Structure 1
Amino acid sequence: MPETTDTRRSVLITGCSPGGIGNSLAREFNRNGLRVLATARDAATISDLADLGIETLSLTVDDPENVKLCFADVEKRLGDKGLDYLVNNAGRNYTVPAMEVELAEVRQTFETNLFAVIAMCQTFLPLLIKAKGTIVQIGSVAGIIPYVFGSVYNASKAALHSFSDTLRVELAPFGVHVTTIVTGGVQSRIARTDRSLQPGSLYSPIESEYLTRVKHSQHNAMPNDAYARSVVSQVLYGSAPWRWLWPWARGRKNWIWEGRASWLIWMLSGGWAWSGLFGRVMTKMFKLWKIKNAPGK
């Protein structure tokens, strides 16, 4: 594809399969006038987005060589422009009692939910620095609370949150921001509802409760499109309709809490009190401001 002179802000989104969060985010960014590059393992599966004029690419996030090929494709498409937004949405769920997990699945969950995100950030950093762009990480309330039977998924999201908090501080001198979306209950294809306890499980006496838990995140879940409208509004404009109580809270946010029960967990966990504090302390302690003020920056 030849280079273009497209002047729109650009966003690359992973995990855009139909029916999921990424698909709705792609549609909403497109509705807001951005140049959207949507990915899935097979671009043919997201023809619904291509029909809207959205550029679709094949990408397997946990394949390092495939990530590099995607970067080359995106770089060529953008020409001399940088990438304004990278949305790391692709993820994998795993709802199994902690003492009954299969280590191969544990490793694959972390491969997709954490290591692939790190690889995407590393690979696309040159384009993000060029645009002084924003990395958007799709996190989860599961990384904040002990969501029973989800220990592995919870841990992968907690690791993503911690990685992103540190990354935010380290990239600030280069003008790149990192926003973590702490997602509550949202309609999503990530929830696997076909799981059952293994024979002889310690939790057999509460098997019916376990099966309820497997589907729990989808109970009264926020519709994908409503979630996408709120998240995109906050990512692009720093505010959301229901946050009218804080009209001064503008600019690129560190954390965005959205989805069913996310506001309650935000309140109970004290997320309103400490966001950004330790980042400022680390910046001062280790003099990261010297990078920003270095000649040529």
Structure 2
Amino acid sequence: MPDPTQQLIVVTGASTGMGAAAARELARRGFQVLAGVRREPDAPRATGIEPVLLDITEPAQVAALAARVAADGRPLHAVVNNAGIQVNAPVEALPMAQWRRVFEVNLFGHVAVTQALLPALLRSRGRVVNISSIGGKAAMPTYGAYAGAKFALEAVSDSLRREVAPLGVQVVVVEPGGVRTEMAARGIATANDLAAGMTPEQDERYGGLVRAINSLMASGTASGLTADAAARVIAKAVTARRPRTRYPVGRDAAVLTRLTRVLPDRALDRVIAATVRRHSATA
């Protein structure tokens, strides 16, 4: 592999969690990391990290990032599409504006960044690393919007991989399970806010389910990997000479991925329902 100190990497959503940890890990390995953040004070601080103001849903900021990369003399080795939000609510109760917001951030923003940086990646024969989720393999109750965007990101990644592989660009998907980051806490708070807006009838139908899923999310996060451990998997996806097409992150992700391959839908439904029931008593 060429000298990392002479190569750029873009990491979106680098303010906290896996994005910040991945930016630090890649900088530690010698890369010059352009860390996309929505506020400069939130940027991770380390030698080799350059904060870049980036809201991936804002075309002007995406264009400015592409211009920054084009103006640099160093090749772009990889873009790590990590930015994301978690919004959980039953399909019936989630307002359409929230559906659109989830897809704008978790799907369309990644496509916009990838489109803007592909010319540089084609020149350098670099790679795209899309941070998906185990939610891109199995959709839990109340995860309709989040999992829908992640399933779509998986499909876009497959299509892109087949388009650009002949051109020398690799596309890799990273699929984390539970990771100890702030995202889950923010997701639970958002889920509670959305639940508060449900009608009495919707609350009767889904209130217990929302509480159980929140309990499950909190438990999975508490027992999950650290952000630094997840970042090491992301770094492997970025640096491996011949990367796999997909990297599950954590035992829960690996197990659930296997289950989705071998179990019929109804059997998987029963497994997920039993998991939710175990958390209903503690919700």
For residue 111 of structure 1, report the CA deviation from its aligned partner. Answer: 0.6
Instruction: Say which of 12, 17, 28 aligns to 2:10.
Output: 12
2:172 pairs with 1:179: yes
For residue 132 of structure 1, report the CA deviation from its aligned partner. Answer: 0.3
For residue 31 of structure 1, report the CA deviation from its aligned partner. Answer: 1.6
Letter in 2 for 1:254: T
For residue 82 of structure 1, report the CA deviation from its aligned partner. Answer: 2.5
Alignment of 1:177-216 (within 5 A): 177-191=170-184, 192-194=187-189, 195-196=191-192, 197=195, 198-204=198-204, 207-214=207-214, 216=217
For residue 230 of structure 1, report the CA deviation from its aligned partner. Answer: 2.6
Instruction: Say which of 133, 140, 143 aligns to 1:150.
Output: 143
For residue 189 of structure 1, report the CA deviation from its aligned partner. Answer: 2.6
6-15 vs 205-214, which moves further:
205-214
For residue 7 of structure 1, report the CA deviation from its aligned partner. Answer: 4.6
Instruction: Say which of 18, 26, 30 aligns to 1:33.
Output: 30
Is the Cα–Cα contact under 8 Å of residues 172 and 237 in structure 2 kept in the other structure?
no
For residue 37 of structure 1, report the CA deviation from its aligned partner. Answer: 1.1
- For 2:226, the equivalent position in structure 1 comes to 223
Cα distance between partner residues in 2 of 1:139 and 1:87: 11
Cα distance between partner residues in 2 of 1:121 and 1:234: 17
Letter in 2 for 1:182: E
Runs ≥4 residues deviating over 6 A: none
- For 2:109, the equivalent position in structure 1 comes to 116
SS in 2 for 1:26: helix
- For 1:266, the equivalent position in structure 2 comes to 257
SS in 2 for 1:39: strand
Alignment of 1:29-108 (within 5 A): 29-46=26-43, 49-76=44-71, 78-79=72-73, 81-108=74-101
Cα distance between partner residues in 2 of 1:85 and 1:23: 16
- 1:73-97 residue CA offsets vs partner (Å, 9 max, x unmatched): 2222x22x32101000001111000
2:157 pairs with 1:164: yes
Letter in 2 for 1:33: G
Is the Cα–Cα contact under 8 Å of residues 157 and 171 in structure 2 kept in the other structure?
yes
Alignment of 1:228-247 (within 5 A): 228-237=231-240
Alpha carbons of structure 1 residues 225 and 7: separation in structure 2 relative to 1, 3 Å? closer
Aligned residues: 250
- 1:170-198 residue CA offsets vs partner (Å, 9 max, x unmatched): 01121111001111111233332213222
Cα distance between partner residues in 2 of 1:117 and 1:234: 17
For residue 25 of structure 1, report the CA deviation from its aligned partner. Answer: 0.5
Letter in 2 for 1:207: G
Letter in 2 for 1:28: E
Cα distance between partner residues in 1 of 2:5 and 2:233: 25
Higher RCO, 1 vs 2 (CA within 8 Å, ≥6 residues apart)? 2
Q: TM-score, normalised by structure 1?
A: 0.78
Question: Is the helix fraction higher in 1 or 2?
Answer: 2
Cα distance between partner residues in 2 of 1:187 and 1:33: 26
For residue 237 of structure 1, report the CA deviation from its aligned partner. Answer: 2.5
- For 1:129, the equivalent position in structure 2 comes to 122
For residue 235 of structure 1, report the CA deviation from its aligned partner. Answer: 3.2
Is the Cα–Cα contact under 8 Å of residues 95 and 214 in structure 1 kept in the other structure?
no
Alpha carbons of structure 1 residues 139 and 64: separation in structure 2 relative to 1, 3 Å? same
Q: Calculate the aligned-residue CA RMSD, in Å.
A: 2.1
Q: Identify unmatched segments of 5+ residues in structure 2.
A: 263-283
Cα distance between partner residues in 1 of 2:125 and 2:89: 40
- 1:99-148 residue CA offsets vs partner (Å, 9 max, x unmatched): 10110010011011111111111100111011100100000111211211
